[in-house]
Structure formats: structure tokens, C-alpha cells
Amino acid sequence: MKRYIAEIIATFFMIFCGTGAMIIDTESQGVISHLGVATVWGLIVMVMIFSFGKISGAHMNPVVTLTLVLLKKHSRKDLLPYFLSQLIGAFSASITLKLIFPKNEFLGSTLPSGPDYQSFVLEFILTFILMIVILLTTQGKKEIEQYFAPIAIGMTIMLGALFAGPISKASMNPFRSLAPAVTSGHIEHLWLYIVATTLGALAAGLYWLWQDS
């Protein structure tokens, strides 16, 4: 239960700060800026992994949990409880932001700027990169995991948000897209972010199996 609560809290703060930065940037006519929003996403992921990684692993992302379970790096019995914890954390954050900013239309939703295929390809590649970084930095020596993995993962999130954010919003996480989409009522492109991120993470898992064989 401690691990599940930790996963709820970590996911809540990630969505609250990340999409909150997007909302506040809109509400303040761009004061935070694109660079600022990308930095917030990277920092909050890094801080949550440093804080909760030793308790729950701080997945905050169902495709990360799924891939780790399939690779036998995480307990299969934790799959559904982790999914539920991440959903609770994500929706709690989006609902809280809706209460704070009731007039904000999108609440940090991931909506593509351009054709769907552009965002699909971007989300697939971004999630592949993220999952590879997670695997390569968390499956080694414990001291490396403790001090360098959170930084590497947070910087990967920031990198993706910096260059791909203007087109796809750089989700890399189905529940990060699901919660604000449902809460705001903008679910028209949701399938893209669920399918592309899942396929990207699973492809990274296949690469891990190949290079580890």
C-alpha cells in the first residue's frame, strides 16, 4: 500500500505541475514560455523520481509499468494496482486544476498541431527514447540509479518537450493525456496518444531484450 500511495502522489504532482505550467502559461499570456513549460516537466519528473523512486519506482506512467512487467523487471501482481494508482493521481490533478482554473478550455491537454501522423510518429519516437533511457539508467549499479537516473530521465522529458512540444505536446504517457482530455472534454485525439506511446515503450522493451541477449 505504501508503494501505491507513493505512486498516486508522484503522479499527482507530475500532472499538477506539468499541465499546471501549461495552463498558467495560457492564463498569463505566455509568461512561463515554451522553454519554461518544458523545464517544469523535466524538473517535476526528476524531483518525483528522487523523492519516490526508492518507494514505488516512481513510474508515473502506465507504459513504463507495463514494459517493466513484460521484461520481468517489476512484479506482475503490481500491474493493475499501479495503473489504478496512476489514474487516481492523474485525474486528481486534472480535477484540482479544473477547480482552480474553471475557465481554462484545454487544461493542458495534448492536442496535435498539424496532421495526426506527425504527432503519432513523434510520440512513438519520444516514448521509445524515454523507455530506453529508463532501462539503461535503472538496471545497473544502485548508486548510479540513485544519483544519475532521475537526472537522465528528467532531462529526457525536458528534451522531448522542448523540441516536440509545439507539434505533439510531448506526452510520452497515456494517462498524462487521458486525465486532462477527459476532464476538459477534448478527447478527439486521445487514441493517438494512447496507441503511439504504448507502441513506443514496447518497441524499446524489444530493443532491450535484443541488446541484452
Total count of residues recorded for the chain? 213
pLDDT number for residue 1: 87
What percentage of the chain reaches a pLDDT higher than 70?
A: 97
| pLDDT band at residue 19 under the 50/70/90 scheme | very high
- Range scoring the smallest mean pLDDT among 7-21, 131-145, 192-206: 131-145
pLDDT, tens only, 142-185: 656 567 999 999 999 999 999 999 999 999 999 999 999 999 99
C-alpha cell at 4: 501505491
Q: Which of 73, 71, 89 is nearest to 81 (CA)?
A: 89
Please tell me the distance from the alpha carbon of residue 185 to that of residue 172, in angstroms, as a whole number. Answer: 20
pLDDT, tens only, 26-64: 999 999 999 999 999 999 999 999 999 999 999 999 999
Query: Is the per-residue pLDDT at 22 higher than 90?
Result: yes
Query: Is the per-residue pLDDT at 212 higher than 90?
Result: no
pLDDT number for residue 139: 79
One-character DSSP codes across 134-163: HHHHHSS-HHHHHHTHHHHHHHHHHHHHHH
Query: Is the per-residue pLDDT at 213 higher than 90?
Result: no
Residue type for position 165:
G
Please tell me the distance from the alpha carbon of residue 38 to that of residue 54, in angstroms, as a whole number. Answer: 25
pLDDT, tens only, 111-138: 999 999 999 999 999 999 999 999 999 8
Q: Which of 46, 175, 63 is nearest to 108 (CA)?
A: 175
Domain ranges, ordered by start, for the chain: 2-212
CATH topology of domain 2-212: Glycerol uptake facilitator protein (1.20.1080)
Contact 70, 170 (CB under 8 A): no
pLDDT number for residue 145: 59
Average of per-residue pLDDT values in the chain: 95
